[in-house]
Amino acid sequence: MHTYKVCFLHFVLIAFKLCLYLPMQLVNLRERVILGIDPGTAVMGYGLIKETGPRIELISLGVVKMEHLDDHALKLQRIFEKTLSLIDQYKPDCMALEAPFYGKNIQVMLKLGRAQGVAMAAALSRNLPICEYAPRKIKQSITGNGNATKEQVAAMLQTLLKFTETPQFLDATDGLAVAVCHAFQKIELKGSSSIGGGKKMKVGWAAFVKDNSERVSGTVKPVKKSR
């Protein structure tokens, strides 16, 4: 019960941050499509969102199943082709990936690293900016708890993005979570480990308030989230 209270409070904080972010975006509502990918050699999850000012909405999410492929090279080829297909179909402005977690099995780490690498190669072939985030960072951004379960992350995403469909695999919401995590970085003014080098932004909510005092004064109107 305590965990769910923390998730609810985190959701309220996110909504409050979105409201504070609104004044600047009323001047110039810039749209951005983000592709999020959770690379894997058995199942690859992906999610796409559209960011318009402080609002984000779901475009698509799904999985790429590769259990039927025995050859590891064929799995990598499938990841490359599907990632390229998603980029060509939805024309995202950037791609965010979940970084492989460190485990005891070096062979698993090697395969996950290859899966991430071919997804990156697909993005780079289309000159798409890339960022990667650790699993704990993604969970923290979505639920406020770096140790949240996949089910808790999925439930929070359903609340934030107003969708009721239950994905066949939680890998789909994992991919979607990466995209949402990346969208939140601009709002929270937190840096990420961007590939190819990028401007490192100031970290933390306190830094945002300090550097944007004009945005936190005055009347704040609630933002209606679009579907």
Is 38 known to be catalytic?
Answer: yes
Count Cβ neighbours within 10 Å for each residue of 8-38 and write b for 16 or more, e otherwise: eebbeebeebbbbbbbebeeeeeebebbbbb
Name which of 51, 54, 65 is nearest 94 in CA terms.
51
C-alpha angle with apex 47: 156 to 45, nearest 5 degrees? 95
The answer to whether residues 216 and 206 touch, using CB atoms and an 8 Å cutoff, is no
Q: Which of 38, 51, 174, 188 is catalytic?
A: 38
Instruction: Work out the end-to-end distance of the chain between its first and last CA atoms, rounded to an integer number of angstroms.
Output: 28
DSSP 127: T
- Amino acid in the structure at residue 203: V
CA 131 to chain centre: 10
Is 171 known to be catalytic?
Answer: yes
Q: State yes or no: 98 annotated in a binding site.
A: yes
Query: What is the rounded distance in angstroms from the CA atom of residue 100 to the CA atom of residue 112?
Result: 6
DSSP E strands in 67-174: the ranges are: 94-98, 130-133
DSSP 93: S
Computed over its alpha carbons, how large is the radius of gyration of the chain? 18
Q: Which of 132, 171, 174, 188 is catalytic?
A: 171
Q: Which of 81, 88, 93, 98 is catalytic?
A: 98
Q: State yes or no: 71 annotated in a binding site.
A: no
Residues marked active site are found at 38, 98, 171
What are the binding residues?
Answer: 38, 98, 171
What are the binding residues for Mg(2+)?
Answer: 38, 98, 171
